[in-house]
Amino acid sequence: MIRKISAKEITNNIKEMCIEANHYLSKDMETALKKAADQEESELGKKILAQLQENLLTAGQEMIPICQDTGMAVVFVEIGQDVHVEGGLLENAIHEGVRLGYSEGFLRKSVVGDPLIRENTRDNTPAVIYYDIVAGDKIKITLAPKGFGSENMSRIFMLKPSDGIEGVKDAILTSVREAGPNACPPMVVGVGIGGTFEKCAFLAKKALTRPINENSSIPYVKELEQEMLDKINMLGIGPGGLGGTTTALAVNINTYPTHIAGLPVAVNICCHVNRHAVREW
C-alpha cells in the first residue's frame, strides 16, 4: 500500500527544522558542553565553556541564532519506498522549506549560487541533499546547517592499505591539529573510513549527526573513537583555541567496505555548534 505525503508538509517541516536547528542544540550536545565545563582543567577554558552555555541558553530564550554563521543546509532524507510525494517534487519541496526557514526565521543567507561568480542567492538555497531509499512508508529527515569555519578545516586522505590503522589515526590527529582554533573548538569530529573518494566524505558528514554520547556498534571502531578523543584532548588546543583539555566533545566514525588497493579517510570537522534537527513521520 502506497502512503501519500504532501510536498507542502515536507516544506513546512523543513522550514521549522531550519529555525529549530539554528536556535537549539540537541540534548546530547548540551549535556556534553556541561560535562566539559565541569571537567575542563584550564580556568580560561572553563570560562569559555561557561560562555558557550550561556550563549546557547540565550539563543533559545530570545530566539537569536546560536551563531551568526547559520550554515549551509545539509539534508539527509530517508524515504520509504512505499511513499509517494504528491503535489510537487520532493527536491523542490526541500529547497522551498530552506528558503522559507531562512527568510522567515531571519537566518543569515550564506549561500552563493556559483562557487566562482559568488553572487548570494539571498535565501540560503540550494540545500545539499542526500537521499536514501529505505523499506517502509515513512520519511525521516535530518537537517544539519553546516558552518564553514569548521567545514573549511575538513580533509580527505587517500591512504594506502599498508598505512593501516596507524595511518588513519595520524590523518585524524593531523586534521584536528591543523584546524586548531579555526574550527571554533570544542569540536565534534566526524570520520569516514572506506568506500570511495566521495563515499568516505559522505560517511564523515553523516557521522556528525549521530548522537555524540553513542559510540559505534563495531568494537574496534568504538575503541578507535575513544582513543582518538583522548589523544585530541591531549593536543592542548582547548575551548576557543585558547588552551585546555577540551578540544573535542566526540569523535564519531563510520566505516564502509572499500577497494583492495585503497584506504580512503575523510575527516569532517564541526564546531561546538553541531546543529541538526530530526523528524520522522
Binding residues vs ligand SF4 (CB under 6 A): 67, 69, 147, 149-150, 184, 271, 273
CA–chain centroid gap for 274, Å, is 6
Q: Is the dihedral of CA 21, 22, 23, 28 positive or negative?
A: positive
CB of 164 to ligand SF4, least distance (A): 31
The residue sitting closest to ligand SF4, measured at its beta carbon, is 147
CB of 147 to ligand SF4, least distance (A): 2
CB closer to ligand SF4 out of 67 and 107: 67
Question: What distances in angstroms separate CA 222 from CA 27, 38, 152, 210, 213, one per listed residue?
Answer: 21, 24, 26, 13, 12
CB of 74 to ligand SF4, least distance (A): 13
Q: Count how many residues are written for the chain.
A: 281
CB of 145 to ligand SF4, least distance (A): 8
CB closer to ligand SF4 out of 67 and 277: 67
CB closer to ligand SF4 out of 186 and 192: 186
| Segments of the chain assigned E as strands | 3-6, 72-80, 83-86, 128-134, 139-146, 155-159, 187-195, 248-258, 263-270, 277-280
The answer to whether the peptide bond before residue 161 is cis (omega within 30 degrees of 0) is no
CB closer to ligand SF4 out of 52 and 193: 52
